[in-house]
Amino acid sequence: MKSFIRFLVFSNIWVAFCVLALALSSELFLETANYQISKFIFFATIFTYNFQRVVRVKRGSNHVRKQWLVENKRVIYSLILSGGIMSGYYFFKFQAPTQIAIAFSGVLSLLYPFGLRKVPFSKIFVISLIWTISTMLLLVIENNIPITQNIVLHLISRFLFVFAITIPFDIRDLQHDAQNLETIPLFFGVQKSKVIGVSALFICVLIAIFQSFENSLNSSNLLALILLYFVASIFIRKSDESKGEMYFSFWIESLCILVYFFLIISGLIF
């Protein structure tokens, strides 16, 4: 079982499911659906994450997954090929504005391992922006949803949530990043970085409460979000360099799946 989970994580299939779950949670929030978008996001994530890993390994980057990637080249290249073909297939089914948004986030994703990540503090902001575009904005654009105050608040919350749960990964990568990157944990220290992450989640709670008062977020979704932010804050506070790779790449990534389950369960209860 452990080897299977390790395969899902190291092949980036798990993170693809996490991104998909976050996109499906957006469908619940916005009360709309687009399965073409969901399928595109899943395959595009597999393509971009594995592509970035291969580039970083070839450029001599040290990473805990490096040896696994070297030993499983065929699997990784097969995933890159299949992910690229499938995401390309769905790309041409979208409206022009959606394609532009995809192209923008795609350029950021492809430039990321080629030097963009070395811009001070860019790492966490680029990741948060791309995930926000992928898991919510694409759905808004493709389904022709008006950009209202409520939509803007949802997008801000999504950005802050991804920002918060990315901080533990920067804490994990302290030794590797210290050589050539400027990240929040390197600049502020581990403890202050955790405070920043938890503070971002607290802002998310305030936004959710405001949306509830404005009747743009129902009580079941509010409960699910507050529970999610509480659990996420615990994971952030417990993050340190001594934690294993699975703590970050499986459990913290799983928070994106957890939000979808919380929304489903709270919807059934209430």
Q: What is the pLDDT of residues 197-245, one digit of tens each?
A: 999 999 999 999 999 999 999 999 999 999 999 999 999 999 988 888 8
Task: Say how many domains are in the chain.
Answer: 1
- For the chain, helix (H) and strand (E) counts, in that order, are 15, 0
Least confident of 45-49, 114-118, 225-229: 114-118
- Three-state DSSP class for residue 244: coil
Q: How confident is the model at residue 177 (pLDDT cuts 50, 70, 90)?
A: low
CA distance 123 to 127: 6
Range of the domain at 95: 2-269
Q: What's the pLDDT tens digit per position in 141-162?
A: 999 999 999 999 999 999 999 9
State yes or no: pLDDT of 267 exceeds 90.
Answer: no
Instruction: Give pLDDT, residue 241.
Output: 81
Least confident of 13-17, 22-26, 133-137, 239-243: 239-243
CA distance 21 to 112: 23
CA distance 175 to 186: 10
Least confident of 100-104, 139-143, 265-269: 265-269
What mean pLDDT comes out for the span 112-117? 74
Ramachandran class of 157: left when φ > 0, alpha when ψ lies in -120 to 50, beta otherwise: alpha
Residue 237's φ and ψ, nearest 5 degrees, are -65, -30
Contact between 162 and 259 under an 8 Å Cβ cutoff? The reply is no
